[in-house]
Amino acid sequence: MGICIKRLLMVIPALVLLAASLTYGANKEGILSMAGWWERQSVVKALGLTYEQITRIQEICNKDNKKTRELKAELKRQNVELSKLVDDDILDDAKISEKADKVVLILAAVEKADIMRRVAAIRELSVEQKKKLKELAR
């Protein structure tokens, strides 16, 4: 029984990541569902994006991607620590629960950073460009 529980607890981080990504991916609609839209030539043309707009959007994304990379690195560290707790001969439910909470909080921060990056990119559009982007997202 102990080995079975250990195996189950070892896959928890992967399951949490999978659930979060599936939930987030399933809930994205409209403009937020269009990752990297400013890099698609057809969208750039349809919206009439200027070089300056594209440059500002890319700068936003590059800056925020650094934050996301840092969060993902922290997530990896926390998952390693969680795995070590699960690998212990004596399982400490309180420590495992605490570490799992940290993992979930970091996952939420990664998703929030992604959403806010997309919102910042959309903010660079004119009202008319945003309307056109909404139409393209349908």
Q: What is the pLDDT along the chain (138 residues), one digit of tens a residue?
A: 455 555 555 556 555 555 555 444 445 567 777 778 888 899 999 999 999 999 999 999 888 778 889 999 999 999 999 999 999 999 999 999 999 999 999 999 999 988 898 899 999 999 999 999 999 888
How many angstroms separate the first and last alpha carbons of the chain? Answer: 50
Length of the chain (residues): 138
Tokens of 50: 């200027």
pTM of the model as a whole = 0.69
